[in-house]
Amino acid sequence: MQPPFPPQPYPTVRLMPKAEARAIRHGFPWVYANELVLDRRTKGLPAGALAVLEDAERRPMAVVTVNTASRIAARVLDGDPEARIDGGWLRARLARARDHRERLYDAPFYRLVHAEADGLPGLVIDRFGDAAVVQPNAAWTETALPEIAEALAEVCGVTTVVKNASGRSRTLEGLDEETVVIRGPAPDGPVRVEMNGAVYFADLLGGQKTGLFYDQRPNHAFAASLARDARVLDVFSHVGGFGLAALAGGARDVTAVDSSAAALGLATKGAEAMGRAADFDTRQGDAFDTLAALAPEGPAFGLVVCDPPAFAPSKSALEAGLRAYERIARLAAPLVEEGGYLVLCSCSHAADLAKFRGACARGIGKAGRRGQIVWTGFAGPDHPVLPHLAESGYLKALAFRL
């Protein structure tokens, strides 16, 4: 196995003559396989290797990491072609990311590294106090995982580092799907996280993704402001994201719907920790089926929230995904009281805001309801957006008053 940070000089890789070099120079972080000269030497580079990217005239442009088995054949690590990628470089990037989050939050519970937007392509890290969950979604991050864990301990003081290898991105990079503790003791049960006045419990080893969705923090807070004295339905609840925030906001009661019994168990544990267990009910099952089953009850809720998984994870799935978002809106809208609120979310980067908004509006209209948009939300500031990369701004939340 190659060392994660080999010494300079790095080998070179070159753009095809028709590739858009200007985009790379202006900050676009990816080189697709059809833009790179894939000669025998380049194809022979091990996945995750470091190289200097040159334009078609052989002018150095950046230091990149290469994986010719991926559709994204190269990812920009540093716009300085003379940059030395090593442990010091990694610690500096982590420290910069940490400093931003520490300005935002009083407690160390947040998205610490948001991949390309934090200058660490393919690397996602969520922090849970003394523990960190790392999603190494690019080949170079897998190779450098021991150094990443060491840097986390040094820069952030974490004692436990979990590798979470689930997700579509790793499959596209040809990587495994193992979740394991790579540094320190394993978490002693679910980790308690307090946000927006609510209490959550995150399973760092067996939960979905990293165990908790920090990206919805500002949207949880806004939904909580709508929940006062209302009956609330939280669909695709996971560990109680919107529902527990609604309890903290003064909801009369909450019904949480999810297909995972384990996730609903953690949501119930959160309600118990808040002293609101009597006001928190769960329904395990398919979200579409549950919404249909609730239809005979009519408009019984002052606030309904639907936060589904990505229905359109790629461009090829876009049309089917938009139909699914429309269907969710059509099934959920009749359950909202007159003057009540419907919050609909999408984490599909392939469905931009306009397309998602259109699908939601169609579904609400087909349900015989009309509404005004009172909130358009995105991921929190610990999930920065790289302006050149639409994929980094994936989350949308729309609140309708019906």
Same domain flag for 212 and 156: no
CA distances from 251 to 21, 243, 284, 357 (A): 53, 9, 21, 27
Q: For 245, phi and psi rounded to 5 degrees?
A: -60, -35
Q: What's 11-50 look like in SS3?
A: CEEEECCCCCHHHHHCCCCEEEHHHECCCHHHHCCCCCEE
Cβ atoms of 336 and 369 closer than 8 Å: yes
How open is the CA angle 396-112-61, to the nearest 5 degrees?
90
Supply 9's token pair.
Answer: 């000089």
Same domain flag for 245 and 329: yes
Task: Answer yes or no: is 235 within a domain.
Answer: yes
| Buried/exposed 344-375: b ≥16 CB within 10 Å, e otherwise | bbbbbbbbbeebbbebbbbbbeebebebeeeb
Q: Report the pLDDT value the prediction gives residue 97, as an integer from 0 to 100.
A: 98
Task: Answer yes or no: is 2 within a domain.
Answer: no
Supply 24's token pair.
Answer: 């790379």
Query: What's the alpha-carbon Rg for the chain, to the nearest Å?
Result: 22
Task: Answer yes or no: is 241 within a domain.
Answer: yes
Host domain of residue 97 = 87-183
CA distances from 386 to 207, 209, 354, 389, 393 (A): 28, 22, 19, 5, 8
The arithmetic mean of pLDDT across residues 247-253, rounded, is: 98
Q: Are strands 60-66 and 49-54 parallel, antiparallel or unpaired?
A: antiparallel
| Buried/exposed 93-127: b ≥16 CB within 10 Å, e otherwise | bbeebbeebeeebeebbbbbbbbbbbbbbbbbbbb
Cβ atoms of 117 and 385 closer than 8 Å: yes
In this model, does residue 340 exceed pLDDT 80?
A: yes
Nearest to 285 by CA among 257, 325, 308: 257
Task: Answer yes or no: is 4 within a domain.
Answer: no
Task: Answer yes or no: is 124 within a domain.
Answer: yes
Q: Report the pLDDT value the prediction gives residue 16, as an integer from 0 to 100.
A: 95
Residues classed as catalytic:
347
Domain limit, last residue, from 53, 78, 103: 78
pLDDT > 70 fraction of the chain, expressed in percent and rounded: 99
Same domain flag for 162 and 285: no
Q: Are strands 123-128 and 131-136 parallel, antiparallel or unpaired?
A: antiparallel
Task: Answer yes or no: is 1 within a domain.
Answer: no
- At residue 279 the predicted structure's pLDDT band, cuts being 50, 70 and 90, is very high
Same domain flag for 118 and 244: no
CA distances from 80 to 7, 27, 61 (A): 16, 12, 7
Q: Report the pLDDT value the prediction gives residue 1, as an integer from 0 to 100.
A: 52
CA dist 57 and 55 (Å) reads 5
CA dist 353 and 312 (Å) reads 13
Task: Please name the residues in contact with 45: beta carbons below 8 A apart, sequence gap of 6 or more.
Answer: 11, 13, 51, 66, 68
Same domain flag for 168 and 294: no
Cβ atoms of 160 and 180 closer than 8 Å: no
Task: Answer yes or no: is 5 within a domain.
Answer: no
pLDDT in tens, 116-166: 999 999 999 999 999 999 999 999 999 999 999 999 999 999 999 999 987
In this model, does residue 213 exceed pLDDT 60?
A: yes
- The backbone region for 9, taken as left when phi is positive above 0, alpha when psi lies in -120 to 50, beta otherwise, is beta
The arithmetic mean of pLDDT across residues 219-233, rounded, is: 98
Domain limit, last residue, from 52, 78, 104: 78
Cβ atoms of 116 and 141 closer than 8 Å: no
Same domain flag for 243 and 336: yes
- The CATH code of the domain that includes 135 is 3.30.750.80
Average predicted confidence (pLDDT) for the chain:
95
Same domain flag for 150 and 214: no
Specify the 3-state DSSP secondary structure of 212. Answer: coil
Same domain flag for 319 and 260: yes
Same domain flag for 207 and 154: no
Same domain flag for 162 and 106: yes
CA distances from 138 to 31, 47, 65, 135, 284 (A): 14, 9, 9, 9, 34
Q: Report the pLDDT value the prediction gives residue 206, as an integer from 0 to 100.
A: 87
- At residue 21 the predicted structure's pLDDT band, cuts being 50, 70 and 90, is confident
- The CATH code of the domain that includes 229 is 3.40.50.150
Same domain flag for 105 and 65: no
Supply 295's token pair.
Answer: 């239809």
Same domain flag for 67 and 215: no
Task: Answer yes or no: is 176 within a domain.
Answer: yes
Domain limit, last residue, from 183, 214, 232: 183
Kindly write down the DSSP assignment for every residue of 83-108, as one continuous string.
Answer: ---SHHHHHHHHHHHHHHHHHH-SSS
Q: Report the pLDDT value the prediction gives residue 2, as an integer from 0 to 100.
A: 64
CA dist 126 and 122 (Å) reads 13
Domain count, the chain: 3
CA distances from 68 to 22, 37, 254, 310 (A): 22, 10, 49, 27
Supply 50's token pair.
Answer: 């470091």
- The CATH code of the domain that includes 44 is 2.30.130.10
